[in-house]
Amino acid sequence: MAKREQHAVTIYTRYERFWHWSQAALIFLLAITGFGLHGTHDLLPFDKGVMLHTFAALGLILLWIFTTFWNFTTGNWRQFLPNTKGLFAVIRYYAWGILFGEDHPHKKTLRRKQNALQGLAYLTFMVLIGPALWFTGIIYLFYDLWNEIPGAADGLFWVAFLHTAAAFLMVTFVIIHIYMTTTGKTPLHYIKTMISGVERVELTEVERAYLAEEHPERLKE
Ligand code: HEM
C-alpha cells in the first residue's frame, strides 16, 4: 500500500460549495413555503407562498441542471458511485462506536471524500428524493395544461400526495444530514469545511506531487 501523509487540502471546490449552500437555502425556502401551502402553518399568505415556492423551485431545477452537467464534465460523479466497502464499519460506528469516542473508520482521501453510508444517502437524495420532487412538482405546476382530461382531479390528488410524501422524505434527509454534520471533531467542524472547502486528508506521494504540480493553490500545507 502506498505511503500516505495527512495534508490540509481544498477538497470542495468553489463551485461545489456554491452549489451546496444555494441548494440548502432553496430547499429550506421550498420546505417552508411548501408546508405553508399544505396548511401545516400560516406564516405566509397563500398567493405569496405559491409565488415564492414556484420561483425557488425554478431556481433549484436550474441549479440541478447545471450541477448535473458539472458533475459529469469534471468526473465528480464518481464520488457518488455506490461502494459497499466499509459500509458495515460505518454503520457500526454511528450506532455504537461514536458513543465511546472511537475513531471514524473512514479516512477521507482525495478520491473518496465520502464514506460508504454517506455515498448511499447522497445517491438516494440525487436519484430518488430530488427527482421525485421536481417530477411531481412540474406536473403540479402545469395542472392548467391537463386539467381537462378525464380524471384530472383524481390525478391532481395523487400528484399532490406524492409531492408531499417526497417533501417529508426530503425534510427527514435534511434533519439527519444536519445531525451528521455535528459529529465531526467539533460540532461545527464539518460545517466549517463546507464553508472554507479545506479538510485534512491522507494523500499518497503521487497525489501530493500531482496537486503540487497541477493545483498548488489547493495544497494548504
Ligand atoms: C424542485 C421542484 C419543485 C417544484 C416544481 C414544486 C412545485 C410545487 C407546486 C406547483 C405546488 C402546488 C402549489 C399550489 O398549490 O398552487 C407545490 C406544493 C408543495 N410543495 Fe413543491 N415543488 C418543488 C420542490 C419542493 C420541495 C423541495 C419541497 C419540500 C422540501 C416541496 C414541498 C411542497 C409541499 C409540502 C407542497 C404542498 C402540497 C399540497 O399539500 O398540496 N416542494 N410544489
Average of per-residue pLDDT across 49-76: 94
Does the CB atom of residue 26 touch ligand 1 within 6 A? no
Dist. CA 106 → ligand 1 center (Å)? 36
User: What is the per-residue pLDDT for 56?
Assistant: 98
Average of per-residue pLDDT across 15-35: 97
User: What is the per-residue pLDDT for 1?
Assistant: 56
Dist. CA 23 → ligand 1 center (Å)? 15
Tell me what percent of the residues of the chain surpass a pLDDT of 70. 99
Dist. CA 157 → ligand 1 center (Å)? 13
What is the Cα–Cα distance from 92 to 73, expressed in whole angstroms? 35
- Alpha carbon separation from 119 to 2, 122, 135 (Å, rounded): 24, 5, 23
Domain edges within the chain: 13-197
Higher pLDDT, 143 or 183: 143
Q: Rg of the chain's alpha carbons, rounded to an integer? A: 21
106, burial (CB in 10 Å: exposed 0-12, middle 13-18, buried 19+): buried
In sequence order, what are the beta bridge partners of 203? 5
Average of per-residue pLDDT across 165-190: 93
Helix axes 152-181, 189-196, angle to 10 degrees: 110
CB contact set of 141 (below 8 Å; sequence gap of 6+): 54, 57
Check pLDDT > 60 for residue 188. Answer: yes
What is the Cα–Cα distance from 140 to 212, expressed in whole angstroms? 50
User: What is the per-residue pLDDT for 2?
Assistant: 64
Check pLDDT > 80 for residue 57. Answer: yes
Indicate the average pLDDT of the chain: 90
What is the Cα–Cα distance from 17 to 194, expressed in whole angstroms? 6
Check pLDDT > 90 for residue 207. Answer: no
Check pLDDT > 70 for residue 10. Answer: yes
Average of per-residue pLDDT across 202-219: 89
DSSP letters, 101-164, are: TPPPSPPPBSS--S-HHHHHHHHHIIIIIHHHHHHHHHHHHTHHHHTTSTTHHHHHHHHHHHHH
Fold for domain 13-197? Fumarate Reductase Cytochrome B subunit (1.20.950)
Nearest CA to ligand 1 atom 4: 137
Average of per-residue pLDDT across 152-175: 97
Mutate to test the pocket of ligand 1, among 35, 44, 140 (most ligand atoms within 8 A of CB): 140
User: What is the per-residue pLDDT for 171?
Assistant: 97
- Tell me: the pLDDT tens digits for 104-154? 888 777 767 777 888 888 888 888 999 999 999 999 999 999 999 999 999
Average of per-residue pLDDT across 28-40: 97
Range name among 59-68, 69-78, 104-113, 192-201 with the lowest pLDDT average = 104-113
Residue recorded with cell 470542495: 12
